[in-house]
Amino acid sequence: MSAALLVGLLGSSAALASYGLVSGERRYAAAGNPYPGGFLCVAEPLGYFFASLATAVCLGALLYVVIAARPEHDGLIDAAAFRIHLVAERVSVIWLGLAVGMAVIQAAHDAGVAPSRLLDSGALPDAVGASDGARAWIVAAICALVVAVALRFITRWVGHVVLLIPVVIAVAATAVTGNAGQGPDHDYTTSAAIVFTLVLAALTGLKTATALTTATPGRAVQVMHVACGALTLSYGAVLLYLLIPGWSLDSDFAHLGLAAGLLVTLVWLFDCWSLFVRPAGRGVARIAGALTMMVVIAAVAAMAIQTAPRYVAHQFSAWDVFLGYELPHPPNVITLATVWRFDSLVGTLGVVLAVAYVIAYVRLRKNGNAWPVGRLIAWLIGCVVLVFTSSSGVRAYGSAMFSVHMAEHMTLNMFVPVLLVLGGPVTLALRVLPAAGEGRPPGPREWLTWLLHSRVTAFLSHPITAFILFVASPYIVYFTPLFDILVRYHWGHEFMAVHFLIVGYLFYWAIIGIDPGPRRLPYPGRIGLLFAVMPFHAFFGIALMTTTSAIGREFYRSVALPWLPDIVADQHLGGGIAWGATELPIIIVIVALVAQWARQDRRVAAREDRHADSNYADDDLDAYNAMLRELSRMRR
């Protein structure tokens, strides 16, 4: 199998190098860039292909371990999963070297000179700083270094789950530069490119890992193949629609995209056949799937090194560069509610969360089990608000105005997490998901249980950790140069949205969480922690209202909204929103806390009454039970 994959890798590389050399002058001329020479025309597509393939293999191998491993009681992965672990460990070192090399190649490409000339001139740091693509590869190199070092020491299941985070960051970093991050509608293309690149890398990596293992992939791996294939086709079609005007087929970009789509379609149909009709064999089918996805990665690499047809002759405006859309009118209630630009990342996440919760609720009720309707309502309202905040005029204007952005931030950080936490999704999942059973591979219920009892979850859900993250995040984001970077790009707005949502969820999980957690404060401590947050948020809002210089000044001046004459006054308005937006969430949290506290007191009183009325309660039995509890505590 390894020999067949190597032959396919060499064949794809040769075809890609030939295409890069033959089309080099034409590609640079179409983009209006100087021709840097034949070496760069070959090195750029090859480097992109090899680095993307190495990233995909690392992502797929980690996913395969997470899905297919059968860990011991201490979390140590089994021998079959460890063989895939070794693949990721070795490939991660290659990935690191390729990412560093691509940073140099991308900087030379954007500067329009050969890499050797750039290195000899000593201008490499300046070229890297001026190139979004080169900086993205630097981020990928840092993530690759973290993964390569960590894999030398990690052999437990939870560690592989944690390592998925830097790999996902690396994939997203390179996906949001180039065609996806510029020009009209780049908010749509950026979000779609993040999802497309992630699922394409996951599918390719899983296919490769499946081809390298001798064990038959379980049903969970097959389901992941089908899901990733469907998402790759869906988001790939969205990207082609956005980047090819009128579905014109008179460009290499269109030909490569349609060819890649056809190959992914064939792979997806075969995966559906294997999952729903008859499982595929071990040999040729696995190798064919991995080789096909390797060719798809090569086609995507060839597309990534050239300007999309939509941008070749487009006359860019400031709004195209910084927003991707126009905002000719000032915001009001009507425009905030009717100007919709659906976010295919965060908005889709809200839809998926709502649908999954409803399905779980219906299944639980069909099995004859009760579930409070209030939790269902809280969850659905939270999902609706999440979709509205991320996809309506709130996001559209929030990307261009600080005041609306602050309203968006406070909603995602203070309001939506409260509703989601009150929904109790983990408890619902544990009641709905079936146990794997003796002798069967672990499934979603076991994965969720391991995560809940892991040290990582214990650390993040600790009240002190959640408090620090919740309080420090606004100050770090807005009062450091970090905001100047994040506000400039659509991926920065996506990052802030996801970050504030997660941080808010962790904090309110520690305060009013219905789901089980590793550590819970007593109710007086929870109320104290809640009120301890309020001065920090009040001071944050006051600081925004009293500053004389605008945060993100260069960006807001570049956008130059004609109906927004004073960006400092807009920032003061944003500070007022931050100062006053905490009241409603705090009221909801206090009501929930008091209700939970009262229910707990009623349960304790009921137990004590039953104990007092029982004829069988005696001091010896109480002492024996106390001894058992103490022994259990000492064992833990």
pLDDT digits (tens, 9 = 90+) for 38-56: 888 899 999 999 999 999 9
Q: Pick from 38, 52, 41, 40: which is nearest to 118 by CA?
A: 40
User: In 3-state terms, what secondary structure has residue 75?
Assistant: coil
Domain CATH code at residue 109: 1.20.1630
Domain's final residue, options 316, 346, 375: 316
Residue 156 phi/psi, 5-degree rounding, is -110, 160
Q: Does the global pTM surpass 0.85?
A: yes
418 and 509, same domain (yes or no): yes
Q: What is the DSSP string of 490-506?
A: HHHHHHHHHHHHHHHHH
Q: Classify residue 157: in a domain, yes or no.
A: yes
**Residues 6+ away with beta carbon under 8 Å from 314:** 183, 184, 320
Position 40 scores a pLDDT of 87
- Quick one: 311 and 394 in the same domain? no
Stretches where the chain sits below pLDDT 50 are: 615-617
pLDDT of residue 616: 46
Query: How many domains are there within the chain?
Result: 2
Taking the CB of residue 76, how many other CB atoms lie within 10 A of it?
Answer: 13
Tell me, yes or no, whether 145 and 271 share the same domain. yes
Domain presence at residue 620:
no
Residue where a domain terminates, one of 255, 286, 316: 316
From the list 304, 384, 393, the residue with the least C-alpha distance to 350 is 384
Are residues 88 and 198 both part of a single domain? yes
pLDDT digits (tens, 9 = 90+) for 411-449: 999 999 999 999 999 999 999 998 877 777 888 899 999
Q: Note whether residue 37 is domain-resident.
A: yes
Determine contact, residues 561/599, Cβ cutoff 8 Å.
Answer: no
Q: Are residues 284 and 417 in the same domain?
A: no
**Tens-digit pLDDT profile for residues 483-515:** 999 999 999 999 999 999 999 999 999 888 888
Structure tokens of 362? Answer: 């219906």
Same domain, 235 and 333: no
- Give the tokens for residue 116: 């050797």
335 & 282 share domain: no
Does residue 428 lie within any of the structural domains?
Answer: yes
User: Of 7, 87, 97, which Cα lies nearest the Cα of 50?
Assistant: 97
Are 264 and 352 contained in the same domain?
A: no
Q: How many whole angstroms separate alpha carbon 501 and alpha carbon 375?
A: 19
Domain boundary among 296, 316, 336: 316
In a domain? residue 625 = no
Residues counted in the chain: 636
Q: Closest by alpha carbon to 57, among 89, 13, 12?
A: 89
- Percent of the chain at pLDDT > 70 equals 93
Q: Is residue 408 part of a domain?
A: yes
Task: Decide if 482 is inside a domain.
Answer: yes
Looking at the structure, tell me whether residues 229 and 325 fall in a common domain. no
Q: Is residue 352 part of a domain?
A: yes
Domain that holds residue 571: 320-613
Region of 596 (left: φ > 0; alpha: ψ -120 to 50; beta: rest) is alpha
Both 499 and 579 in one domain: the answer is yes
Judge if 268 and 330 occupy the same domain: no
Position 627 scores a pLDDT of 63
**DSSP label of 434:** P
Residues 247 and 382 placed together within one structural domain of the fold:
no
Instruction: Give residue 33's pLDDT.
Output: 73
